[in-house]
Amino acid sequence: ISTASWNAPQGAPRGVIGPETPGVKPFTGDVFTTDIAEAVGRRVASENRRLVATDTATVLGGYGVDVPKGISDKSAAYAHMARPHKPPAGNPFLSADPRMFDRMYPVQIADMLDTLTKVWEAPEAWQTIARGSDRMLGVWKAFQLYHPAYVIRNVWQNTFGGIMAGANALAVAQLWAGGQSGPKVHLLRKALIQNTPEILRGQSIALSGRDVPLEQLWRLGRDLNMAGAGRTAQEMAGAIQPILAAKRRITGTIFKLNQWCEDNQKLATWLHFADRGMDVRDAAIRTLVAMPDLSDLSIWERSVAARFWPFWRWMRRNGSLQLFHFLPRKPAFAAGLGKLRNLAEGFRGVENVPTELRPEWMDEQLAMQITGGREQGDVFLAQTWFPFQEALSLAAPLVGEPEELVQQAVSGMRPGVKAAVEGATGQSVFRRTPLKKINETDLLRAFPQALMGRSGTMLDSLLTLRPAREWTPWVGRVAEMPTATSAVGRTVLGGAFQPVSRIRGLAAESVRLRERLVTLRQQINRARQVNDMSLADSLLQQWVATVARARRLGLPIVPKATGRMMQTAGVPAGAAAFGG
C-alpha cells in the first residue's frame, strides 16, 4: 500500500483525516512520511516554534507586554521563526546545497541577517530614521547639556582619570587653575586653539627643573593633539541649529566653558607628567590614557552607534578604558569608593540618615550626605562623577540575563528611539511602570507636563527639559530639598544633589518588609504542603529575621503576639517609627 493512499483515503481531501462533527478538529497533514529527514525537520520546526513562543512571552512579559493566550506554537505569528531561508545569491558554495544555509545558521540568526540586509539595501529608509534621530538628539542635547552640571561632571571625570593614570591631582590643579604657571598654560592653550605661536615668544615654563620655551611646547602640543579634548563639545554645539538664538547663546557659553576646562586640564596633565621627568611623547600617551580623544571613532561608530546612543563616545573611548585598563590593574579604586563615602560623611560630625533607610538606587550610587541630620538632609551622588557605571555597562554582554541586557541597551538609546520603544511596549524604560495613553483630547495637557517629566506618557523621554525641572522652584527636585541653603547651588549641581528623609525611608521599608513577610508565609505553607521540612525551616528562619528587623525599626507591621515572642527571645524593640 502506498503512503499516498494512507495520506489521502477514499472520500477525504488530501491532508485532511478525521470526523467533521462540530467541536472536533480534523487532522491536517500527512499521517506519516517515508522521508526521515523531512519528518525530523518537522519535529524540530514544531519544537522550535514552541520554544520561541514561550521565550517571547516570557521576555515581553517582563516589560509589561501581554502576549495573547491564543497564540501558540502552531500560530502563524511564529511561523516565520522556523521558515526555510533562501541562501545568499551569488555564493557558489551555498548554491550547491540549498540547505547548507539552514545548517550553518540558526533560524533566528538567519532572520536577523535577512532584516539587517534589507535595512542596508534601502539606504533612504535608514537615512530617514537617522535624520529624525539627529533632529531629536539636537533638541535634547540643547536642553540637557547646557546645564552647568555638564561642565562640573567633566572636570571631576578628568581629575579622576588623571589620578588613575598616576597624576597628582593637586599639582595638576595648581598648574592650570592657579599659581605662576596657570596663565602660561592658558596662553599655551590659546595659541594651540588659534594657531598663533607668535604670542608665545619669550615665554617659558619650568618643567623638571629647567625652563622650557612655550613655542617648543606649542609645536609638540599641536602634533600630539594636546588641546583637542573639547572638540566634541563643538561637534555637539553644531547639532543645535533648530534652537532659538537665545538658547544657542546659552548653550554656546556652556560648551565654550567646557572646552576651556577640558583643554586646560589636558594640557596641565601633560605638562605635569613632563615635569616629573617623563619624555614629552610618553607624557602625551599617559595623558591620552587619562583623557582620551572622544572624536576618535570608526566610520561605523560615527554613522550608526553615535547617532542612536547619546553617550557612545564616552562609553567607547573612556568607559572601555576604565573597564579594561584601569580597573584590572587598580581594583582598589573601585573598592575604596565606599570608604570614601563613609569618610566624607564622618567629617561632618553629625548623625546622618541611616544608610539602610535610603533608597537602594541611592546607595548604589554611593550617595554621601552633605547637609541635614538624622531626620532629613541632602546627599551628593558620588558615583555620578565616576565612570564605573558606564564602564560596567560595557561588560553587560558578558554577564546577566537577556532581559537585563535589553533594559540596559534601551535605556542608553537616544530619547527619540527610546520614546518609540516605550510607545511600542507601553512601559517606561526607567521606572518600569505602565505608561498612560495619549489621545487628542489630553495631548495639550500632557505636553507641558512632559516638559517637567511628569506626564506619565512616552513624551517624558522625548520632551523632558532638565534645566526646567531643576530651576522651577515649585516642581522637580528643588522643591524636595528643604535643608539645602542655596537654590543656586542646587541648580548648578542638578541631579547629583538629591533629598533624603528618614521618615520616607521608614515608610518604604515598611512596605518592603510587609511584602517580604507575606511572600515568606506563602512559601512556608507550600513547603509544608509538599512535606519539604528542611526548606520550611530555612524559610522560617528568614521570616523570623525579617520580623526582628521590623521590630528594631519600630514598624507597625509586627502582630502583638509575635512582638511578645520576640521580646521573650531578647529582640529589642525600637521607638515607634511613625509616632504613637
pLDDT on residue 294: 63
Residue 403 has pLDDT above 70, yes or no: no
Give the pLDDT mean for 109-132.
58
pLDDT on residue 385: 47
- Name 91's Cβ contacts closer than 8 Å, sequence gap at least 6: none
pLDDT in tens, 131-172: 666 666 666 555 555 566 667 667 777 787 787 778 888 888
Give the pLDDT mean for 498-507.
83
Give the pLDDT mean for 443-452.
70
Residues 167 and 235 in one domain: yes
Comparison of pLDDT for 343 and 117, the residue scoring more:
343
pLDDT on residue 37: 56
Give the pLDDT mean for 435-459.
70
How would you classify residue 17: left for phi > 0, otherwise alpha for psi between -120 and 50, otherwise beta? beta
Q: Is residue 288 part of a domain?
A: yes
Residues 285 and 174 in one domain: yes
Alpha helices in 63-122 (DSSP H): 92-96, 100-104, 107-121
Residues 183 and 61 in one domain: no
Last residue of a domain, one of 275, 310, 345: 310
Q: Which residue has the cell 514552541?
A: 50
Q: Is residue 477 part of a domain?
A: yes
Least confident of 242-246, 302-306, 333-337: 242-246
pLDDT on residue 272: 87
Q: Residue 521's domain spans which residues? A: 503-568
CA–CA dist 576, 580 (Å, integer): 7
Measured from the Cβ of residue 367, the count of other Cβ atoms closer than 10 Å reads 25
Last residue of a domain, one of 117, 146, 181: 117
pLDDT on residue 419: 67
Residues 524 and 419 in one domain: no
Q: Could you give the percent of the chain with pLDDT greater than 90?
A: 0
Eight-class DSSP state of 427: B
Comparison of pLDDT for 551 and 103, the residue scoring more:
551
Comparison of pLDDT for 401 and 314, the residue scoring more:
314
Residue 293 has pLDDT above 60, yes or no: yes
Beta bridge partners of 434: 427
Please, are residues 482 and 376 in contact by the beta-carbon 8 Å criterion? yes
Comparison of pLDDT for 123 and 270, the residue scoring more:
270
SS3 assignment, position 208:
coil
Comparison of pLDDT for 39 and 547, the residue scoring more:
547
CA–CA dist 302, 308 (Å, integer): 10
Radius of gyration of the chain (CA): 31
The amino acid that residue 87 corresponds to is P
CA–CA dist 345, 298 (Å, integer): 44
Residues 493 and 438 in one domain: yes
Q: Could you give the percent of the chain with pLDDT greater than 70?
A: 43
What does the block give as the cell for 17? 483525516
pLDDT on residue 308: 67
pLDDT on residue 510: 87
What does the block give as the cell for 443? 495631548
Least confident of 161-175, 249-263, 418-432: 418-432
Residues 42 and 73 in one domain: yes
CA–CA dist 266, 226 (Å, integer): 6
How confident is the prediction for the chain on average, in pLDDT? 67
CA–CA dist 449, 342 (Å, integer): 38
Give the closest residue to 31 by CA, choosing from 11, 10, 12, 3: 3
Residue 33 has pLDDT above 70, yes or no: no
Identify the helix (H) or strand (E) that includes residue 563: helix 560-568
Residue 9 has pLDDT above 50, yes or no: no
Last residue of a domain, one of 280, 295, 310: 310
Eight-class DSSP state of 66: P
What Cα–Cα distance (Å) separates residue 267 from each residue in 134, 176, 281, 493?
32, 8, 13, 26
Give the closest residue to 265 by CA, choosing from 101, 153, 394, 145: 153
Residue 4 has pLDDT above 60, yes or no: no
Give the closest residue to 88 by CA, choosing from 105, 74, 76: 105
Greatest mean pLDDT among 172-176, 392-396, 532-536 lies in 532-536
Residues 389 and 472 in one domain: yes
pLDDT on residue 247: 46
Residue 410 has pLDDT above 70, yes or no: no
Number of domains, the chain: 4
Residues 390 and 446 in one domain: yes
Q: Is residue 334 part of a domain?
A: no
pLDDT in tens, 519-566: 898 899 999 988 888 888 889 889 888 888 888 888 888 877 788 877
- Positive or negative, the CA dihedral 550, 556, 561, 563 is positive
What Cα–Cα distance (Å) separates residue 219 from each residue in 204, 206, 265, 382?
14, 17, 18, 38
pTM, entire model: 0.49
The 3-state secondary structure of 318-341 reads HHHHHHHHHHHHCCHHHHHHHHHH
Give the pLDDT mean for 231-239.
41
Q: Is residue 329 part of a domain?
A: no
Residues 470 and 395 in one domain: yes
Measured from the Cβ of residue 177, the count of other Cβ atoms closer than 10 Å reads 16
Greatest mean pLDDT among 120-124, 301-305, 563-567 lies in 563-567
Beta bridge partners of 178: none
Beta bridge partners of 315: none
Q: Is residue 60 part of a domain?
A: yes
Q: What are phi and psi of 135, to 5 degrees?
A: -65, -45
Alpha helices in 105-241 (DSSP H): 107-121, 123-144, 148-164, 169-177, 181-194, 214-224, 231-238
Residues 75 and 91 in one domain: yes
CA–CA dist 372, 483 (Å, integer): 6
Burial class for 131, CB neighbours closer than 10 Å (0-12, 13-18, 19+):
exposed
Q: Is residue 343 part of a domain?
A: no
CA–CA dist 510, 550 (Å, integer): 7
Residues 172 and 257 in one domain: yes
CA–CA dist 530, 537 (Å, integer): 13
How many residues are listed for the chain in this entry?
Answer: 580
Q: Is residue 489 part of a domain?
A: yes
What does the block give as the cell for 369? 550626605
Give the closest residue to 221 by CA, choosing from 256, 257, 197: 197
SS3 assignment, position 35:
coil
pLDDT in tens, 318-365: 655 665 666 666 666 666 667 777 777 877 778 888 888 888 777 767
pLDDT on residue 126: 58
Residues 391 and 457 in one domain: yes
Greatest mean pLDDT among 102-111, 203-212, 361-370, 453-462 lies in 203-212
